[in-house]
């Protein structure tokens, strides 16, 4: 009976709570809609995608081009662009334009003109993120001497174009661009431009070409029909590699700097430096003529030159004029180690070994530290904390043949 009474009391309490709740009034919002027309609360499309799509409505073309951009702004592709015969792909007729290829490809047709080109005097154009292939010039932002200044191309492939892959005017920037299989120069820029993180291969001319005062870094040129890199006067190149190009690996104009670069198996010299330049901490190997060739007034410091020449007349380092300083280099297994045909040069602290014609070969009227032959020096094995030296000289400016 106790358990039965508990169940009755619990049931009565439940019924009581239910009726009590039913007596409490429930509140709700107004059922009548607000006055006025119903309006959307979502953002307008221009806020979601403020850029302008490249299409026949927004950027209509004409008899010379598929699309024409006439106003400043940020534009983007919505799909692949197929070129038309005897037309440009996109003409940019306004400064301050950004074109995002959006990961798509621009394909040229037979006899298409350039893929992207600016009109006369138009500067500050950016192209990024896509592929431009099979046109005249792939991207041509230097269609005359007054156009293309301050333009930028990055994260773009320019491949298989009938002219150059990419042309920029002065003070341009080229970042993470690949230029392969073009019938002209892979990447060409004007004065004061910057190239970094780029690749140029299998082009029918030079891989890279710059105007004066350019900076090139962290880039590679391979198997181009011309030289790998050709830089104008007062330029700088660092952390770059040139291999198997038919011309020189790296050529710089006067007053330039070459640092921490590698040049291998090129058809002429590994490096050619014009007057008043410096080359340091570079490697030149297996180039057809010379590892490093220079004219006058250069500093050639701390480089490694190996197995260059191999036709009897090549040299690890070869200078043809005066007032060069050749210092702290190592030349091995070339025809000549260091060969100097000019006068008034300073040659100190170098080492040469295994060069088949001569380790050192200088004209008269040069200045050099003693050349010390240590090839016959006794060379006992060493194991421990000390051993007598085998250099046979304490002259700090000595050049060694070993």
- For residue 17, what pLDDT is reported? 41
Q: Which of 176, 217, 177 is nearest to 194 (CA)?
A: 217
* pLDDT above 70 (res 223): yes
Token pair in block for residue 46: 């221009």
Residue 311 confidence class, pLDDT cut points 50, 70, 90: confident
Confidence of residue 37 (pLDDT cuts 50, 70, 90): low
Domains of the chain: 143-401 (2.160.20.10)
- Sequence-distant (6+) residues with CB within 8 A of 97 are 69, 72, 73, 74, 75, 124, 125, 126
Asked if pLDDT for residue 127 goes beyond 80, the answer is yes
HSE-up (13 A, CA, CB side) for residue 110: 0
Distance of CA 335 to the CA centre of its chain: 33
What residues form DSSP beta bridges with 4?
Answer: none
Evaluated on CA atoms 108, 109, 113, 118, the torsion sign reads negative
pTM of the model: 0.88
Instruction: Give per-residue pLDDT as tens, 43-94.
Output: 555 556 799 999 999 999 999 999 999 999 999 999 999 999 999 999 999 9
- The predicted model gives 317-321 an average pLDDT of 99
Q: Is the pLDDT of residue 19 over 90?
A: no
How far is the C-alpha of 260 from the C-alpha of 257, rounded, in Å? 10
6 band by pLDDT with thresholds 50, 70 and 90: very low
What is the average pLDDT across 216-228? 99
Question: Does the CA dihedral 139-51-71-124 come out positive or negative?
Answer: negative
Q: For residue 8, report the phi and psi dihedrals to the nearest 5 degrees.
A: -65, -45
Q: Which of 222, 166, 217, 167 is nearest to 196 (CA)?
A: 217
Mean pLDDT across the chain, nearest whole number?
Answer: 92
Cβ 274 vs Cβ 297: under 8 Å = no
pLDDT value of residue 28: 53
For residue 264, give both structure tokens. 């291998």
Q: Which residues of 241-262 are buried (b: 16+ CB within 10 A; e: fewer)?
A: bbbbbbbbbbbbbbbbbbbebb
Which band of pLDDT confidence, cut at 50, 70 and 90, is reported for residue 10? very low
Measured on CA atoms in the order 134, 138, 143, 145, is the torsion positive or negative?
negative
Which whole number is the average pLDDT over 227-236? 99
């Amino acid at each position: 009976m106790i358990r039965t009474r508990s169940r009755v009391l619990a049931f009565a309490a439940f019924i009581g709570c239910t009726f009590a709740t039913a007596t409490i009034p429930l509140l709700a919002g107004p059922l009548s809609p607000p006055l006025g027309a119903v309006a959307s609360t979502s953002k307008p499309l221009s806020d979601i995608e403020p850029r302008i799509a490249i299409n026949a409505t927004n950027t209509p073309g004409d008899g010379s081009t598929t699309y024409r951009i006439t106003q400043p702004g940020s534009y983007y592709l919505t799909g692949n662009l197929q070129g038309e015969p005897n037309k440009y792909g996109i003409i940019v007729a306004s400064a301050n334009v950004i074109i995002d290829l959006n990961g798509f490809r621009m394909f040229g047709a037979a006899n298409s003109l350039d893929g992207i080109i600016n009109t006369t005097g138009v500067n500050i154009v950016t192209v990024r993120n896509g592929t431009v292939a099979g046109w005249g010039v792939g991207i041509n932002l230097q269609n005359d001497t007054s156009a293309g200044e301050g333009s930028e191309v990055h994260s773009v492939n320019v491949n298989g174009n009938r002219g150059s892959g990419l042309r920029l005017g002065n003070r341009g920037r080229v970042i993470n661009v690949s230029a392969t299989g073009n019938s002209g120069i892979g990447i060409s820029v004007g004065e004061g431009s910057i190239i970094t993180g780029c690749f140029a291969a299998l082009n029918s001319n030079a891989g890279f070409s710059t105007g004066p005062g350019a900076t090139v870094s962290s880039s590679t040129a391979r198997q181009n029909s011309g030289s790998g890199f050709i830089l104008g006067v007062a330029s700088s190149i660092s952390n770059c590699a040139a291999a198997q190009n038919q011309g020189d690996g790296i050529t710089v104009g006067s007053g330039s700097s070459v640092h921490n670069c590698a040049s291998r198996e090129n058809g002429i010299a590994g490096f050619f430096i014009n007057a008043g330049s410096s080359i340091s901490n570079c490697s030149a190997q297996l180039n057809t003529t010379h590892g490093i060739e220079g004219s006058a007034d250069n500093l050639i410091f701390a480089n490694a030159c190996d197995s260059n020449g191999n036709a009897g007349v090549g040299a690890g380092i070869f200078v043809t004029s005066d007032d060069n300083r050749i210092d702290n280099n190592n030349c091995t297994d070339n025809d000549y180690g260091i060969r100097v045909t000019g006068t008034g040069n300073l040659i100190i602290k170098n080492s040469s070994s295994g060069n088949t014609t001569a380790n050192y070969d200088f004209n008269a009227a040069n200045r050099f530290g003693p050349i010390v032959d240590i090839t016959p020096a006794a060379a006992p094995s060493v194991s421990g904390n000390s051993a007598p030296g085998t250099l046979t000289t304490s002259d700090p400016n000595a050049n060694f043949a070993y």
